[in-house]
Structure 1
Amino acid sequence: MPDAGPTAVLPRRPLTVGELLDSAVLLLRGQARVLVPVALVLAVAEQLLLHPLRLAAGTAPPAWLPEFGRFGAYWLLLAVGAATEAVIVLLLGNPAARAAGAALFGRAAGPRELLRPAGARWGATALLAVGVGVLMCGVALFGPAWIVGFALLGAVAPALVVDRVHPLRAPLRAAALAVRAAGRAGWIRLLGYLVWWIVRVGLGVGVYLGLDSFDLVNRPWAGWLSLAVWAGVNSVAYPALACLDAVLHLETRMRTEGLDIRLSRARAGTPETVLLAAGR
């Protein structure tokens, strides 16, 4: 199996930004039957959680912008939304990272492999997701600080399940990789979020307005329809971001740690988990 090629999901070499985005999309396409249904469940739960906060902030579909004088409640809504996004992307990052690791060896991980609990470290992933969610909610209350937190914590799940570091080290490992090479990984993660934010807003608002233009929106159910649209859009956007985190993590290791060289020199028969584990 060649290390690189035009159809490789994740070539064994440093990639350009465009190639990284392409690799993330290829990984999502190959693992959509696992990632998208899981993301849909999480996205629906997120919308149900945020709905009371939206009502308290006086927002209305489809853009859910606040009423004048309720900015405090809306700010809390944004902070909680930032936290739920971080939690969902981190949870999806567990199977996405393991799928990316398999892709680095030229194979596609099957659904059973990704959903199998053995060795997946789901317990640690859930605990880290809660911790990251609380942290993101806290920093989001300070506005621009959310951007820093989001940029630094993208590789928490890959560091945990691919690098096999201790759970307490995973956030530190993620932050360390994010700031390498002048913060390249952090900036690319922000770029990916911006791209998908534009897509999400465009579809979340556009689909609703399109249905409304044909008089297909029942006003008493307008809010729930909008929530369903947003959940559907996020069920694709969230795993896409998780896949970007996964391929970006491995590419950063190839770029800054020589992971590609390590793999090319490895003895035949060495387990994948051993080859991908970070040095202690």
Structure 2
Amino acid sequence: MSDAGPITVLPRRPLTVGELLDAAVLLLRDQARVLLPLAVALALAEQAVLYPMRVLAGAHPPGWWPGDEGRFGWYWLLLAVGAGIEAMIIAVLGNPAARGGAAALLGRRLAPSELLRAARPAATALTAVTVGLVVGVAGLAGPAWFVAYALVGLVVPVLVLDGVPAHRAPGRAVRLAGRVGGRAAAVRLLGYLGWWLVRVGIGSGVPYGLGLLGLFDVSAWALPVAVAAHVAVNAVAYPALACLDAVLHLETRIRTEGLDIRLSRAPEDVPEPVLLAAQR
């Protein structure tokens, strides 16, 4: 079970922050045939759900910033709902991302057909909805969003890989995120911040840039161009963040539970679920 290939997606050792981000990108590249189409569909559904709320909040494309209608309450609700939907989508994509990351750690690569056979699908769906609700409600409280988003990211990887009952997965995920001074939680926030800056730059910059070039009438085409720009960046960002969660989960277990030592000492005939199950 040695690391395979000239570039190891996830080495069996503690990683630096830069190596964690690189590992997430490599994992996304390896599983892009499954993760990207799923992310496109989910990002399109997100835009459809958010559009009526944007109308109520007086948020206009291309930047979706609030207008002068004095609807700050609706806009605040829009931000909270959007945060919850983002967290839910990342959690859904976390199922195949976590299994792809575990396979990479064990020196193999899952075929698309294997990734599409979701592990514990019902529990994953319920967990994703719960994560979305928690993050959305925290978003209503402003700064509480940072805490909620940072701590709940490892729930689906724990559920899929660690072999714990569904009701124990949230508690274990929070404990893992809080280990080593909250390292995994901090890296998760760092990853989100990087994606947010890219989304603002592309989602707002592309429509404005095309408008300045005179390639289309901004007032007539702002909505479809803004939606297309947001879907494009989210369709890459959401699976990238899900892959980061998968990498953070496995690396935290290597760093704090000796998962790498356990794998190196395991007999060849031990099934993968047993290898990866959390010690209880």
TM-score range, shorter chain: over 0.9
Q: Deviations over 1:86-142 (max 9, x none)?
A: 00000000000000000001111110110024xx11110001111111111111100
Deviation at 1:6, TM superposition (A): 6.2
Q: 2:255: which partner in 1?
A: 255
Scaled by the length of structure 1, the TM-score of the pair is: 0.96
1:84-95 paired onto structure 2 within 5 Å: 84-95=85-96
Corresponding position: 1:136 with 2:132: no
Deviation at 1:210, TM superposition (A): 2.3
Q: 2:149: which partner in 1?
A: 150
- 1:143 corresponds to which letter in structure 2? G
Measured in 2, the distance between the counterparts of 1:6 and 1:144 equals 43
Corresponding position: 1:20 with 2:25: no
Corresponding position: 1:246 with 2:246: yes
Q: 2:50: which partner in 1?
A: 50
Measured in 2, the distance between the counterparts of 1:106 and 1:201 equals 37
Q: Deviations over 1:133-187 (max 9, x none)?
A: 1111111100000110000001011001111211111111110001000000000
Measured in 2, the distance between the counterparts of 1:133 and 1:176 equals 19
SS at match of 2:167: coil
Measured in 1, the distance between the counterparts of 2:166 and 2:113 equals 24
How many residue pairs get aligned? The number is 278
Q: Deviations over 1:187-233 (max 9, x none)?
A: 00000111111111111112212222222334333212211210111
Please say if residues 4 and 12 of structure 1, whose CA atoms lie closer than 8 Å, have aligned partners that are also in contact: no
Q: 2:32: which partner in 1?
A: 32
Q: Deviations over 1:229-271 (max 9, x none)?
A: 1011100000000000000100000000000010011011111
Measured in 2, the distance between the counterparts of 1:192 and 1:273 equals 28
Structure 2 unmatched runs, 5+: none
Matched-pair identity in %:
63
Please say if residues 98 and 161 of structure 1, whose CA atoms lie closer than 8 Å, have aligned partners that are also in contact: yes
Of 3-12 and 163-172, deviating more is: 3-12
When the two chains are superposed, the root-mean-square deviation of aligned CA atoms in Å is: 1.4
Measured in 1, the distance between the counterparts of 2:167 and 2:63 equals 38
Measured in 1, the distance between the counterparts of 2:228 and 2:245 equals 26
Please say if residues 4 and 11 of structure 1, whose CA atoms lie closer than 8 Å, have aligned partners that are also in contact: no
Scaled by the length of structure 2, the TM-score of the pair is: 0.96
Q: 2:203: which partner in 1?
A: 204
Please say if residues 39 and 239 of structure 2, whose CA atoms lie closer than 8 Å, have aligned partners that are also in contact: yes
- 1:215 corresponds to which letter in structure 2? G
